């Protein structure tokens, strides 16, 4: 950029003109770098996602995170919806893919591939979005989970299916007594999944045979979380169940409201969002005893009422969740709480289940007129980094986590489009950074002073 400015100035221009051109170049260069620095601090300019994602998976018997991937619903066996990754910078969506069907599901990313459901179960190239294989599902009921060379998924046709993750060939099919919308979790060669027949099932990953089942009093539609030998499940009978993951025996249960989201486990606690009232609940994961709760109705006004709390995300001693609110959809509805005490730390924009990566928290919400808004905020302060608007087929988005892998975001709208976007969208709307203009002006005057001194000194020496 500097070389171009000097060439345009011409040899016959004065030293002062050159100095001004240099100052302008430096100013614009500083401005472009500083905006990104204020927004994020550091990022990667890598454009090939495959460079950040291994072509092999070391987790052959688990769907837990291994490196920079997102192999199951909620990202890991604890459903924390957080990942360690280096954000990639870009100016527009990397790719989008039409799955041909409307549903709420979260993609799984592992081994350089993206697995997402629509009319079929699709396996896509993570870099290009091109189809590697697709397998007819008829009625896919859940998000997929990837463990090594196996991908497991629930079906609305009352079955759990396992496919070869590389070829798409069916390996086994286990039939339950009801539709399966629970997303599977795979740990130590065992598949944990719920069913509409009120059972939690533990199946053998290799052949699909049943190891045990536990019968509840209502449909088990949510994904089990696995933590320290425990399988934790919410279901529609108003209970949270803690089961021994080896035997299926009940260790404890906690009775409260009807649930609609999967439990999240971190640092010895379970975090649960409730759809019937806007409350986030924290329990002791070992004993099931109450630790704290935060009722978002307490911060509502007469003009705006909170009425649902979504599944949270947890990272670095903080828990993030969003609520639905009448009168102000998506605006100021993302909350960050202290994970130990439940104290409110900050409030930002969002409307559904958040996800965390690279020190950033991502959330989105659908709005009328077929628009979808994606927010990126600083996970520590809640300051907005950028926001982006996508035109979609249907003006709503489901309450499922955004998958984060290889410095990119992956999510599916309720219509039929799956999106892949870089984590740092430089073409997105930048926020107004408090103090930034004054800092820029100070820098300009500083550079101007140095430039004038240098030019005048050269004049003196040339005499």
Q: Quick: pLDDT tens for 145-179.
A: 999 999 999 998 999 999 999 999 999 999 999 99
How many CB atoms neighbour CB 380 within 10 A?
14
pLDDT band at 45 (very low <50, low <70, confident <90, very high): very low
Per-residue pLDDT band at 415 (split at 50, 70, 90): low
pLDDT value, residue 26: 38
At 232-279, the pLDDT tens digits run 998 888 899 999 999 999 999 998 766 667 899 999 999 988 766 778
49-425: CATH number = 2.130.10.10
Percent of the chain's residues with pLDDT above 90: 50
pLDDT of residue 463: 44
Which position has the higher pLDDT, 55 or 96?
96
What are the pLDDT digits (tens) for 400-411? 789 999 999 998
pLDDT at residue 359, rounded to an integer: 95
Average pLDDT over residues 11-22: 40
DSSP 316: T
* pLDDT the model gives residue 27: 38
Lowest mean pLDDT among 24-33, 76-85, 92-101, 157-166: 24-33
The tens digit of pLDDT for each residue in 178-236 reads 999 999 999 999 999 999 999 999 999 999 999 999 999 999 999 999 999 999 998 88
- Confidence band, pLDDT 50/70/90 cuts, at residue 416: confident
Measured at the alpha carbon of residue 243, what is the angle toward residues 184 and 60, in degrees to the nearest 5?
40
Q: Please tell me the predicted confidence (pLDDT) of residue 297.
A: 77
Mean pLDDT of the chain: 78
**pTM (predicted TM-score):** 0.81
Per-residue confidence at 324, pLDDT binned at 50, 70, 90?
A: confident
Does the pLDDT at position 87 exceed 80?
Answer: yes
Q: pLDDT tier at 288 (50, 70, 90 boundaries)?
A: very high
What is the band of 323 on the pLDDT scale with cuts at 50, 70, 90?
A: confident
CA distance 363 to 181: 23
- Nearest CA-CA partner of 337 in 355, 359, 313: 313
pLDDT confidence of residue 49 = 57
Buried/exposed code over 295-325 (b: 16+ C-beta within 10 A; e: otherwise)? ebeebbeeeeebebbbbbbbbeebbbbbbbb
Confidence of residue 287 (pLDDT cuts 50, 70, 90): very high
Q: How confident is the model at residue 426 (pLDDT cuts 50, 70, 90)?
A: confident
Tell me what the mean pLDDT of segment 286-298 comes to: 91
How far is Cα 274 from Cα 311, in angstroms, rounded to an integer? 8
How sure is the predictor about 52, in pLDDT bands with cuts at 50, 70 and 90? Answer: very low
pLDDT for 307 equals 65
For residues 304 and 211, the model is more confident at 211
Domain coordinates in residue numbering, the chain? 2-39+440-462, 49-425
Please give the pLDDT value at position 306.
56
In whole angstroms, give the CA distance from residue 334 to residue 304. Answer: 15
pLDDT the model gives residue 151: 97
State how far the Cα of 180 lies from the Cα of 109, in Å rounded to an integer.
Answer: 21
pLDDT over 80 (residue 37): no
Highest mean pLDDT among 38-47, 101-110, 245-254, 367-376: 245-254
| Beta strands at 355-357 and 82-83: parallel, antiparallel or unpaired | parallel
Of 375, 357, 349, 367, give the one whose Cα is nearest residue 414. 367
Interval 312-320 mean pLDDT: 96
Q: Tell me the average pLDDT across 49-77.
A: 73
> What is the rounded CA–CA span in Å between residue 280 and residue 301?
19
CA dihedral 219, 351, 371, 102 (to 10 degrees): -10
- Spell out the alpha helix ranges (H) of 40-118: none
Which pLDDT band, with edges at 50, 70 and 90, does 12 fall under? very low
Please tell me which of 184-198, 348-362, 371-385 the model is most confident about, judged by mean pLDDT.
Answer: 184-198
Extended beta strands in 296-338, E state: 306-309, 313-315, 318-325, 334-338
For 442, residues 6+ apart whose C-beta sits below 8 A from its C-beta are none
């Amino acid at each position: 950029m500097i070389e171009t400015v000097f060439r345009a100035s011409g040899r016959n221009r004065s030293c002062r003109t050159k100095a001004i051109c240099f100052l302008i170049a430096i100013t614009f260069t500083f401005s472009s770098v500083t905006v990104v620095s204020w927004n994020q601090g550091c990022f990667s300019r890598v454009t090939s996602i495959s460079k950040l994602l291994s072509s092999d998976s070391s987790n052959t018997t688990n769907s837990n995170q291994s490196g920079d991937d997102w192999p199951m619903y909620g990202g890991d066996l604890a459903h924390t919806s957080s990942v360690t990754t280096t954000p990639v910078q870009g100016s527009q969506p990397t790719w989008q893919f039409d799955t041909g069907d409307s549903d709420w599901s979260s993609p799984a990313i592992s081994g350089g591939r993206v697995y997402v459901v629509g009319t079929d179960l699709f396996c896509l190239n993570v870099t290009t979005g091109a189809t590697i294989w697709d397998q007819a599902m008829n009625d896919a009921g859940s998000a997929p989970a990837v463990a090594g060379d196996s991908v497991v998924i629930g079906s609305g046709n009352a079955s759990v299916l396992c496919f070869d993750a590389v070829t798409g060939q069916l390996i086994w099919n286990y039939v339950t007594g009801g539709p399966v919308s629970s997303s599977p979790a795979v740990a130590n060669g065992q598949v944990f999944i719920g069913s509409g027949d009120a059972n939690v099932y533990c199946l053998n990953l290799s052949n699909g045979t049943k190891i045990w089942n536990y019968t509840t009093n209502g449909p088990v539609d949510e994904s089990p979380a696995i933590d320290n030998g425990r399988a934790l499940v919410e279901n529609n009978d108003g209970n949270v169940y803690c089961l021994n993951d080896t035997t299926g025996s009940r260790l404890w249960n906690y009775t409260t409201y009807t649930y609609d989201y999967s439990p999240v486990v971190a640092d010895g606690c379970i975090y649960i969002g409730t759809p019937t009232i806007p409350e986030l609940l924290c329990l002791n994961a070992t004993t099931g005893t109450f630790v704290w709760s935060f009722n978002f109705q307490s911060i509502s006004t007469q003009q705006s009422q909170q009425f649902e709390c979504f599944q949270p995300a947890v990272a670095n001693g903080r828990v993030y969740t969003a609520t639905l609110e009448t009168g102000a959809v998506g605006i100021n509805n993302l909350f960050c709480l202290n994970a130990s005490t439940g104290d409110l730390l900050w409030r930002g924009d969002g409307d559904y289940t958040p996800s965390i990566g690279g020190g950033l928290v991502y959330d989105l919400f659908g709005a009328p007129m077929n628009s979808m808004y994606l927010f990126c905020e600083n996970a520590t302060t809640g300051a907005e980094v950028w926001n982006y608007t996508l035109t979609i087929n249907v003006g709503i988005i489901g309450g499922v986590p955004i998958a984060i892998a290889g410095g990119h975001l992956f999510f599916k709208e309720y219509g039929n489009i799956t999106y892949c976007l870089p984590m740092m969208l430089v073409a997105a709307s930048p926020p107004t950074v408090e103090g930034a203009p004054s800092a820029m002006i100070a820098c300009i005057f500083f550079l101007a002073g140095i430039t004038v001194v240098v030019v005048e000194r050269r004049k003196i020496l040339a005499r």
